[in-house]
Amino acid sequence: GIFFFILAEIIPLFKGAEVEPLDPVTTGIENPVLMGSDEWTELPFLVSAEGELTFIDLNTNNPAKTEPVPLPSDGHIQSAAYIQEEQGIALGLDNGFYLFGKIHYRPEFQADGTRTIQATADWDAPATFLAKDGPISDISLYTSPERKTVAGIVTDADAKRVQVNSYIQKRSLFGASGFKIDNQWDLTDRISGVPVRILVGANAAALVVLNSEDKVHYFKLEDGEWELDQVFKPFPNDSAMVTSMDFIKGNVSLSFTNSAGNHVIYSLYRSDEAGRRIFGQTKTFETFPGGAEYFARSARNKALLIGNTDRISLRYSTTADVRWESDLPTPLEKILISGKFDQILGVDANGTLHRY
C-alpha cells in the first residue's frame, strides 16, 4: 500500500548513488555558454557563444538541429541563466541588452508506437535595464504564467550596477495578454562593494546579491519596492573567497562553497530574535577541495551537483550527505541533473557531452 510506496521513495535517499559513465557524444560546439535538456534527457541543447541554439538527439541517429538565437547584430552573449523546471532562458549580452527564451518540448509517437522528442524555441524581443550602456556580467531569471523577473549586473563606465526588471501578464477568458514591463529598479546604491553574483528568489519576492567582499545582500519585495533586509557573510570565520552561490529547488535555500573547499547551506527561517524570516546556516557538508566552479540542482528534490576542473560531487541538502563523488578525466564546462533524476549530463570545452 501507500506505506511501502513511501518507503520505496525514502530508503534510496540514505544510500550512496550508483553512477556509471555512458558513451560520450561529440557535438563540435566549443565553449558553450548554456546547456539544458528535456526531462527525459533525450534531446539536450547547447547555446554557443556565437548565438546558435543546437538540439542534440541522444535517442536516435537524427542529425543535430541548429538555429540562430535572434541576437541584435552588435550583441554577443556575456552571461546566461536557465530554469530547468520551466525551460526558461535569459541571455545577457555585451551591449547591455538581454533576451528571454523558452524551450517547448513535446513527445511525438510514430505509427509503430515509437516515441521521439521534438523541440521548438520562442524568443522575446531584446530589452534593456535602466542602466543599459555596458555588458551584463551576470543574469538571473524567475518565470511563472503571470510574472517574469530578470535581474542583472551591468558594467558601465562608472560601476557595476544591480538592475531588476519585472513583467506581468494578465489572463482572461480570452487568453493571456502577453508580458508587459511592470517595473524597473536600480539597486546599486543599496549594495556595498562590487557586485559579482545575483539571484532572483522564490516567487520573485526575494533577491540576493554577492559582492567582492563575500557579503550577501538579501532584499525583500514589499509594496512594490525592494527593501534591504539582511547582510551576511556565509563563511564569517574563513578568509577564503566564495566560489559559488546558488539556489536549491524551491529558491529559499542557498548553497555556498569557497576556495578552501567548505560547503554550507543557508535557508530562510523565522528568527525569534529578529522577528522575521532571515537567512541562517542550516547544513554543513564534507569539504569539496577547491570549491565549486559550476552547479546544478535537481528539478525533483533537494539534490545538488557541484564540480570544478578536477572533481564532481552529487549531494543531498536535506541530510547534508554526499551521495556520489568522482574525479573527472576531462574538465567540464556545464552540468545538469536530468528531470527524471536518473542521469547526469555534462559538457566539456570541446563540446563533448559526458553522460552518467
The reported pLDDT for the residue numbered 18 is: 78
Q: pLDDT digits over 76-115, tens only?
A: 999 999 999 999 999 999 999 999 999 999 999 888 888 8
Q: ∠ at Cα 354 (353, 355), nearest 5°? A: 115
The reported pLDDT for the residue numbered 12 is: 53
Q: pLDDT digits over 290-323, tens only?
A: 999 999 999 999 999 999 999 999 999 999 999 9
Residue 159 half-sphere exposure, CB side, CA atoms within 13 Å? 15
The reported pLDDT for the residue numbered 150 is: 98
Considering the chain, what percentage of its residues have pLDDT values greater than 70?
A: 95
What is the value of pTM for the model shown? 0.92
The reported pLDDT for the residue numbered 8 is: 46
Mean pLDDT in residue range 123-152: 94
Considering the chain, what percentage of its residues have pLDDT values greater than 90?
A: 82
Backbone angles phi, psi at 188, to 5 degrees: -55, -45
Residues contacting residue 252 through CB under 8 Å, at least 6 positions apart:
201, 202, 206, 267, 268
Q: Residue 6 carries which DSSP code?
A: H
Q: pLDDT digits over 229-285, tens only?
A: 999 999 999 999 999 999 999 999 999 999 999 999 999 999 999 899 999 999 999
E strands present in 309-351: 311-316, 321-327, 334-337, 344-347
